[in-house]
Amino acid sequence: TLLASYDFVIVGGGTSGLVVANRLTEKDFTVAVIEAGESVLNNFNVSTPYGYGRAFDTAIDWAYQTEDQEYAGGKKQTMRAGKALGGTSTINGMSYTRAQNAQIDAWESVGNKGWNWKSLLPYYKKSEGFQVPTPDQVANGADYYLTYHGQNGPVKTGWPYGMANSSVLPVLDETLSQIRVSYNRDVNGGNMVGLTVHPDTVDREANVRQDAARAYYWPYQQRPNLKIITNTYANKIIWSNDSHEAVATGVEVTGPDGVLTVHASKEVILSAGSLKSPVILELSGIGNPDILKKYDIPVKVNISTVGENLQDQTNNGLTYGSRERWSGLPAFSALPSAEQIYGDKVESIANTVNASLADYAKAVANFSNGAVQEANVLAAFQLQHDLIFQKQVPYTEIVWLPLGSVFATEYWSLLPFSRGNIHITSSDPSKPASINPNYFMFDKDMLAQAEIAWYIRNAFNTAPLSDLVTEEYEPGMDLLPNNASENDWSDWIKGTYRSNFHPVGTASMLPRAKGGVVDPQLKVYGTKNVRVVDASVLPFQLCGHLTSTLYAVAEKASDLIKNKYTDY
């Protein structure tokens, strides 16, 4: 029953939460998972591997709305996230790409001891059940180094049946290699730069999406020590009366039977996603006192950076008419570095960006009303600048989509500098939070988004890709001729962009003095027994899609927790 007590209460049965629930119940701990959504095992919008977008704006999409985007044309954006057992992994694009090794190493270099590429790689592998491609799939471009992959983990990865026409890859390869980008057989070994046909999270034989519930819950549903409580909304953490330390004793929830408390004898673990976990912290009294006082929430722990450091990416697309009709699922991605996008201009661009970082760090600190420190923001920006321009991590992902009678693309700049935040607007947990990613607040983020568009147009004008297409439909040469100004491009970008749905950083793993919310054990500073395990803790945006890394982080978190309570 709901009022029962468990060793661990996990808030959010999503991508990360179900990993922790699974691994802890391998031992004889009792675990309850509170999930606002319900099972989607029989929901075709989820299970079909060919249905990206079908679940959008249905009951299983939170479809969070942002504030008006002041620097991006004024409109609100929809930030999608899954409301279902399996979380956002049930509605996402299924792309399985990890991160550039230097980005994970950066976590350690800023003070998170034990978090680096080398130590995370075994956890990427532990979570993965790589399906070696069939000869047909190999002929269509599926390529890999088996040593990079795990074959025994719960998350099946690989290529779905019905891949796109094999003739496209050599054309893209020959075209892009003339404009500096070469082929990368397998981007999952720490070096992501290049053109690739990456795997997806898919169960090839069953021909279904491999979401977190299919991977980590359904095969284990009979475990008596694992209790999944769906259709139930977590409101806030309940604390003991201890006045010296913040000790969580459970979670207040609203479910079909009204408002109840689920007790936790060991820990409360927040895995509600980067647009909800920081909100639950604030509702529970952990956050910026200025904000909490506004809503009469007693301050349990003063951490002014809860909800700050919100980072997302922006997605635009160019579309061309095609001379051929295409069928099958295309999965061609190019991940060029800054040098490859900019060519000779790269140094001058690097200098221009660098020269603006101090002013922009000040603007971010001001936007947060001093909740984040200018010096911390600047240090993070310099590290990011170093990753982009010295370490040459991927700068953008360009997805090439030959579909029917068009050859479309989608792209996003991978590491924008713009920073926003998310905060409560009420002490009532049912009220939506204020979400402001501040898209394009840093003007050089707009320049990057435009420069990548020019690179893509250039690719479509380079043979042999140019032979496959007719005219440019989007944005179109009438709207934006080759001599169009940066301002004209900026208007088009603002008019057509969307969120890339990769929000991170709102409860960052960083030293407290650097603005961190959780420590390297993922424990919330100032609490005895509250952790956050989800995309909120990633301190910096990544170049890979997020689930692979979140599975790895949650696997590692599970070991950290087990180590604390057992000597296994």
- Enumerate binding residues for ligand FDA (CB under 6 A): 11-16, 34-37, 80-84, 87-89, 91-95, 233-234, 271-274, 276, 501-502, 534-535, 545-548, 550
Distance CA 411, CA 501 (A): 13
Q: Smaller CB distance to ligand FDA: residue 37 or 475?
A: 37
Give the closest residue to 108 by CA, choosing from 525, 527, 556: 556
Distance CA 186, CA 176 (A): 17
Give the closest residue to 107 by CA, choosing from 517, 409, 540, 547: 540
Give the closest residue to 107 by CA, choosing from 526, 518, 560: 518
Locus of tokens 């990769």:
502
Q: Would the CA dihedral through 559, 30, 214, 47 be positive or negative?
A: negative
Alpha helices by DSSP H, 68-131: 101-109, 117-127
Residue 189 DSSP symbol: G
Q: Smaller CB distance to ligand FDA: residue 1 or 241?
A: 1
Q: Are 204 and 160 in contact (CB under 8 A)?
A: yes
Q: Smaller CB distance to ligand FDA: residue 42 or 430?
A: 430
- Would residue 545 show up in a list of annotated catalytic residues for this protein? yes
Residue 353's Cα: distance from chain center in Å? 24
Locus of tokens 């010295």:
390
Residue 276's Cα: distance from chain center in Å? 14
Single-letter amino acid code for the residue at 558: S
Q: Would the CA dihedral through 489, 494, 500, 506 be positive or negative?
A: positive
- Angle at alpha carbon of residue 16, lines to 149 and 445, rounded to 5°: 85
Q: Smaller CB distance to ligand FDA: residue 144 or 233?
A: 233
Token pair of 106 as six digits? 């950066």
Token pair of 353 as six digits? 């960006």
CA atoms within 13 A on the CB side of 73: 16
Token pair of 359 as six digits? 């002013």
- Angle at alpha carbon of residue 396, lines to 388 and 176, rounded to 5°: 110
Distance CA 34, CA 18 (A): 11
Q: Smaller CB distance to ligand FDA: residue 271 or 373?
A: 271
Query: What number of H helices and E strands is found in the chain?
Result: 16, 24
How far apart are CB 475 and ligand FDA at their closest, in Å?
Answer: 23
How far apart are CB 92 and ligand FDA at their closest, in Å?
Answer: 3
How far apart are CB 487 and ligand FDA at their closest, in Å?
Answer: 30
How far apart are CB 556 and ligand FDA at their closest, in Å?
Answer: 14
Q: Smaller CB distance to ligand FDA: residue 19 or 447?
A: 19
How far apart are CB 378 and ligand FDA at their closest, in Å?
Answer: 27
How far apart are CB 398 and ligand FDA at their closest, in Å?
Answer: 14
- Would residue 502 show up in a list of annotated catalytic residues for this protein? yes
Query: Which residue lies nearest ligand FDA, judged by its C-beta?
Result: 14
How far apart are CB 232 and ligand FDA at their closest, in Å?
Answer: 6
Which of 149, 198, 423, 545 does the annotation list as catalytic?
Answer: 545
| Number of neighbours of residue 478 by Cβ within 10 angstroms | 8
How far apart are CB 81 and ligand FDA at their closest, in Å?
Answer: 5
The residues annotated as belonging to the active site are: 502, 545
